[in-house]
């Protein structure tokens, strides 16, 4: 058998076929069964897109990267797998494996915003930050403005994707009168439409009433209470309870519709036969009582 040449991790290495039985997992980790099943299905239908990375260890090879692909090949009954051989110390092997796992992790938008803030604090320019994380400089400038002004509510809306960064920065820079003008401009230019415009309106109202940051209302309560504040608090509570009543009414109407529909379906012999064939033999007690007109217990 020809000798295998292991190259340094920083060098280009040819792909070689190795027997699965000669490979041992260096840093095993548990896997999500559903994700792993999709990986096996993908490899079975499309083939291996990227070889695994191994390093020589005596008569065997230590797996550095690609545990999922390695185990998928085992499940598929393969005896060999394409590998890239590298030469690395034991510490480097664990480090490479750790870096791959971290790179696979799906980072949240909050992680991205924190990274932008850290880079700005370290003195990087907007252009440099944009180059590092592959985002538009205008977006970076807008996010930094929101972060510096403590606009947590606006940032959360941008994170969720329904508030354009251009609108958020305009709101952050403007007073109430200017905000109204900015919203009108956004609507006329097509940046905000329909339900999106209503969501922005509600966001601005909450920002005005509760502050830019979450939890500001609690801090405000520690200040001196005035008759005007008491009136505002009362009116807000009245609006909240009216909304709860409306939601309860809607829920009751939907429940009545469900009960009526189920009562008709359960009177159908074919539907009952279908339920039995699917192994569905019970209902939530409250719903069953309503269907039998016994009312909730």
Strongest mean pLDDT among 69-78, 85-94, 198-207, 259-268: 69-78
- pLDDT tens readout for residues 185-218: 776 677 666 677 677 777 777 777 776 665 544 4
Q: What is the DSSP secondary structure assignment for residue 71, as one 8-state letter?
A: H
Taking the model in full, what pTM does it have? 0.35
- Helix, strand or coil for residue 3? coil
**C-alpha distances in angstroms, 60 versus 85, 143, 263?**
12, 50, 67
- pLDDT tens readout for residues 129-153: 887 776 788 888 888 888 887 777 7
Q: Between 274 and 190, where is the model more confident? A: 274
- Helix, strand or coil for residue 174? coil
CATH of domain 7-104: 3.90.1530.10
Local confidence band at 20 (pLDDT 50, 70, 90 cut-offs): very high
d(C-alpha 244, C-alpha 205), whole Å: 19
pLDDT of residue 2: 44
Could you tell me the residue ranges of all domains in the chain? 7-104, 109-217, 227-291
Kindly tell me if the per-residue pLDDT of 178 is higher than 60: yes
Nearby residues of 220 by Cβ (< 8 Å), 6 or more positions away? 211
Outline where the chain has alpha helix (H): 33-46, 67-75, 90-104, 109-121, 126-133, 137-148, 152-160, 165-173, 176-189, 194-210, 216-221, 227-266, 269-277, 285-291
């Amino acid at each position: 058998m020809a000798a295998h040449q292991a190259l340094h991790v920083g060098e280009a290495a040819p792909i070689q076929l190795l027997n699965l039985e000669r490979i041992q997992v260096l840093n095993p980790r548990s896997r999500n069964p559903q994700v792993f099943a999709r990986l096996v299905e993908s490899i079975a239908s499309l083939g291996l897109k990227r070889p695994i990375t191994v390093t020589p260890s005596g008569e065997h090879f230590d797996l550095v990267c690609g545990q999922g692909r390695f185990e998928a090949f085992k499940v598929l009954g393969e005896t060999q797998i394409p590998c890239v051989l590298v030469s690395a110390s034991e510490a480097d092997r664990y480090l490479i494996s750790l870096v791959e796992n971290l790179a696979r992790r799906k980072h949240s938008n909050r992680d991205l915003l924190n990274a932008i803030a850290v880079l700005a604090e370290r003195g990087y320019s907007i252009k440099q930050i944009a180059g590092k994380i592959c985002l538009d400089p205008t977006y970076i400038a807008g996010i930094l403005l929101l972060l510096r002004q403590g606009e947590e509510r606006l940032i959360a809306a941008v994170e969720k994707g329904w508030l354009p960064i251009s609108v958020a920065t305009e709101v952050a820079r403007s007073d109430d009168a200017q905000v109204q003008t900015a919203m009108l401009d956004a609507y006329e230019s097509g940046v905000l439409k329909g339900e999106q415009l209503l969501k922005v309106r509600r966001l601005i109202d909450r920002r005005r009433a509760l502050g830019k940051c979450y939890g500001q209302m609690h801090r405000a309560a520690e200040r001196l209470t005035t008759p005007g504040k008491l009136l505002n608090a009362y009116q807000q509570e009245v609006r909240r309870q009216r909304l709860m009543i409306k939601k309860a009414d809607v829920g009751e109407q939907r429940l009545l519709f469900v009960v009526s529909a189920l009562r008709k379906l359960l009177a159908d012999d074919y539907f009952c036969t279908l339920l039995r064939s699917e192994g569905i033999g019970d209902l939530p007690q409250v719903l069953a009582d309503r269907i039998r007109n016994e009312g909730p217990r």
